[in-house]
Amino acid sequence: MSVVIGQPRDRVDGPLKVTGSARYAAEFAIPDLAYGALVMSTIANGRIREIDTGAAESAPGVLAVLTHRNAPRLHAVVPVPAGFAGSSLLPLQDDRVYYQGQQIAVVVADTLERAQHAASLVRVEYDEEPPIPRLEDALDAPFPPSSIFGTPPYSRRGEPEQGLAAADVRLDQTYTTPTEHHNPMEPSATIAAWDGDHLTIHDATQSISFTQEVIATMLEMPAENLRVVAPYVGGGFGCKGTVWPHPALAALAARQTGRPVKLVLTRAQMYTSVGYRSPTRQQYSVGATREGKLTALVHRGISQTPAYDEFAEFTGSLSRILYACANVETRNDMVTVNAGTPTIMRAPGEAPGSFGLESAMDELAYALGLDPLELRLRNYAERDFETGHPWSSNGLRECYRRAAERFGWERRSLTPRSLRAGDRLVGWGMATACYPVWIFPASALVRLLPDGRALVQTGSQDLGTGTYTVMTQVAADTLGLPFERVRVDLGDSALPPAPTSGGSDTAASVGSAVYLAARAVRDEVVRRAIVDPASPLHGSAPEQVVVEDGRLFVAGNPARVETYAALLERQGGAPVEARHDCTDTVMGGNGPRFGMHAYGAHFVEVHVDPLSGEVRVTRWAGAFDIGRVLNAKTARSQLMGGITFGIGMALMEHTVADPRVGRILTPNLSGYLVPVHADVPDIDVQFVGAPDEHANPLGVKGAGELGIVGAAAAVANAVYHATGVRIRDLPITPDKLL
């Protein structure tokens, strides 16, 4: 029985962070450090005719200026996103400019201020060509991607046209989401230091192993000669999940100058250097009977990509599986624009896709005169209609029941503008959350030390989500050790490899590797005890032995007991260790046999000022099926974080660019608004469901992205209930309500 897993343990790295002892990528003290500063393009399309670096090279303290004229050649990486490179566009390789803010030079100096000043002295002349900076400008030339993370961009089942024709009620609407940026607290940063032909990179990354692989490929060096270090990461949300060019630039600059080089992106440079969430345009045609049963669902989504890459926002993923419908067609197309490569952003595809789908379901409920929750219950999917497979587990009905009960949904009036609080209009809305369960190859080493402590090592990374803490809990529980007697090492490519911390996969992937390695250690120690004539457990059956609090004893006979430390000392004092490599991406390794998803339900209250159009979120109740909960505190924090993301997506977040030339006009947190404490109410998070025995050895489903899915739609649906105004284009700003 678990005694540590599931407990709301405080983060083991918490004291280090609040005292400033935790070192992030840019904070390592490296002797003789030099500093890099980037020069960015000021046009959106064309070529560099002339780049004058003379004044920069003559400036005090300048060590090098790299441009396409003198930068070493970089080796092409595999196409995006298969190789986990953020972009296939290599920096400083030619004179071509594809978008505003493209990296076109790097200046290195002995201080940051001197590097920044010298970068301002670089003069560039261009041969400019007319750009196509916006998705709206390219809608006449859509095309399908070859695939979206290995999934076909087009799907069809049944006869959608016939289903729409047979519908008693039909809805045809278009929903849009804008360009959004990740804005983690820590900007992307790299320190690169050479020692002969060996390179160490301190990098702010969600993917230590892939950073090692991709940068080694770019530099054409053996991966084993490249060490990537990232013990702490100050948030990422996807922009640090793939590998961008700036670590390679730092490495080139360090090799050129013979000194370690620190390259930290400014906040403005983050907006053009590490991806963004593409704007989307989603067209829905939905049909239903008078009783509210879906007869057809047709969903076409369009997102943007640059000419040199292919990255599509998979908005149709939920439309394929979330509701029971025999006739479904989804299509995800792209258009080419003069902008950088989009990338994964918290719940890529599902976040914008759920805004369209869950808004359409709300509109359909009003057209039918049905409660929005009742419409969803009438179309609950008993299986995965896309594949025909059963669900591995599905607690969605319980999510609906629990969250609706906590919120008081039964008291809701269906009529818009029927609730008030003083002079404010009050609205109640709801939406469904759903996110796939991912598991990727991961490795972990667990070592039981002679003094009865344990060491866990895996090359994963902690983004602030609690990875150090939950891995400690998994190992402690499996080994039967006190929480305080387990240490977890993360954040170094010298450790056993682990996948990107993305897709809410870390608990499932790395956690399973840690669990299986720890179980192997425990089983080996038990084996040694029962065959050792000097052990009180000698002759016992393995299944009779219990491990708890650093002791081994026979169930029902606690007098037959000895400690780990005593056993290991008697047997020579060497540690016992095991490494486990989880190579299967699906349990059993025989291909998918189940539809595997995490689920949730959002219920939200908003207050709207009818005079100013100001929207305030005042109450939130959510219930979530995430399988086994490894730590109730960190899991709740993850879901609250996703919901907060959803509030920002609904009401604030919008990267504004000049429609003529694509220059970003809001490249900072004063112009790009994100929620602050005053914008977020107390969020009631409930966990339902049970461990998913089919998903992975730990039975976890992941929580990091589930919270944002459906959250923006829940707010939009509540705003409609409050005002009678349906907003189909995010964000919901006061001007759209007046």
How confident is the model over 144-185, as pLDDT tens digits? 999 998 899 999 999 999 999 999 999 999 999 999 999 999
Q: Do domains 25-130+185-235+240-273 and 440-583 have the same CATH topology?
A: yes
> Looking at residue 588, what is its pLDDT?
41
pLDDT class of 589 with cuts at 50, 70, 90:
very low
Residues 6+ apart with CB under 8 A from 70: none
- Residue 78 pLDDT more than 70? no
pLDDT digits (tens, 9 = 90+) for 471-514: 999 999 999 999 999 999 999 999 999 999 999 999 999 999 99
Q: Let me know: does 447 contact 489? Beta carbons within 8 Å.
A: no
- β pairing state of 576-582 and 557-563: unpaired
> Looking at residue 587, what is its pLDDT?
46
CA 595 – CA 405 distance, rounded (Å): 28
Q: Let me know: does 450 contact 568? Beta carbons within 8 Å.
A: yes
99 three-class SS: coil
CA 427 – CA 720 distance, rounded (Å): 7
pLDDT class of 591 with cuts at 50, 70, 90:
low
CA 612 – CA 596 distance, rounded (Å): 44
pLDDT digits (tens, 9 = 90+) for 236-286: 999 999 999 999 999 999 999 999 999 999 999 999 999 999 999 999 999
Indicate the domain borders of the chain: 25-130+185-235+240-273, 154-179+277-438+592-737, 440-583
pLDDT class of 592 with cuts at 50, 70, 90:
low
Interhelix angle for 467-479 vs 506-531, to 10°?
Answer: 30
pLDDT digits (tens, 9 = 90+) for 444-466: 999 999 999 999 999 999 999 99
- Residue 386 pLDDT more than 70? yes
- What dotted CATH number matches 25-130+185-235+240-273? 3.30.365.10
Tell me which residue of 467, 475, 470, 502 sits closest to 209, measured CA to CA. Answer: 502
705 is catalytic: yes
Tell me whether residue 31 is exposed, middle or buried, using C-beta atoms within 10 angstroms of its C-beta: 0 to 12, 13 to 18, 19 or more: exposed
Tokens of 131: 């750009």
Count the neighbouring beta carbons within 10 Å of the beta carbon of residue 665. Answer: 10
- Residue 324 pLDDT more than 90? yes
pLDDT mean across residues, the chain = 96
Tokens of 517: 């390695």
CA R_g for the chain: 27
Give the residue-averaged pLDDT of 318-330: 98
- Residue 62 pLDDT more than 60? yes
Tokens of 601: 């339900």
> Looking at residue 590, what is its pLDDT?
44
Q: Could you say which DSSP state residue 349 is in?
A: T
> Looking at residue 79, what is its pLDDT?
55
- β pairing state of 454-457 and 486-489: parallel
Torsions phi, psi for 66 (to 5 deg): -105, 130
Fold of 154-179+277-438+592-737: Aldehyde Oxidoreductase; domain 4 (3.30.365)
CATH number (3.40.309.10, 3.40.50.300, 3.30.365.10, 3.40.190.10) of 440-583 reads 3.30.365.10
pLDDT digits (tens, 9 = 90+) for 560-572: 999 999 999 999 9
Tokens of 527: 């084996």
Count the neighbouring beta carbons within 10 Å of the beta carbon of residue 725. Answer: 15
Q: Let me know: does 57 contact 123? Beta carbons within 8 Å.
A: no
pLDDT class of 2 with cuts at 50, 70, 90:
low
Q: Cα separations (Å) of 457 from 36, 475, 482, 497?
A: 33, 11, 18, 10
One-letter amino acid of 692: D
Cis peptide before 81 (omega within 30 of 0): yes
The residue annotated as part of the active site, out of 180, 310, 363, 705, is 705
pLDDT digits (tens, 9 = 90+) for 686-703: 999 899 999 999 999 999
